[in-house]
A = this chain, B = another copy of it.
Amino acid sequence: MYSKNLIKGTLQTIILKQLEDNGRMYGYEITQRVKELSDGKIEITEGALYPTLHKLEADGIVTTEKEFIGKRVRKYYTLTETGGTVATEKSTELNDFIATIARILQPKPTI
């Protein structure tokens, strides 16, 4: 696991990217998928996940549908049309940002 504060600012984009890649997903599924993709290095906490998803819905970036699996409810999230655009934009921006950071962190060449 990375020091907690590294995730700050990137969480929303990570979630949007998952929805972009996988279509319809539910919250818990997103946490598991990200954990898997990051080899256990990124574990999204529920306290961060659900408020973020609720905000995305309030902002019209995702829509939700409830589904019953036995007696247990699942809430599926899907990107809206606007959401698709936002997801792509955010994803591109984060990609650009990490490229910039990588450049800054590049070991100083030993002349």
Contacts and interface: CB of A to CB of B under 8 A. Distances in A.
Interface stretch (A35-43, A50-58, A65-73): A35-43
A45 interface: no
Contact of A7 (B9, B17, B21, B34): B9
Interface residues of A, number: 33
A98 B103 contact: no
A72 to B, nearest CB: 28
Contacts of A104: 14, 17, 34, 37-38, 42
Q: Is the interface of A mostly helix, strand, loop or mixed?
A: helix
Contacts of A2: 93, 96-97, 100
A91 interface: yes
Interface of A: 2-3, 5-10, 13-14, 17, 20-21, 34, 37-39, 41-42, 91, 93-98, 100-105, 108
Given A6-B10, A20-B108, A41-B100, 9 more contacts: A2-B100, A6-B9, A8-B9, A14-B101, A21-B108, A34-B104, A37-B103, A41-B97, A98-B102
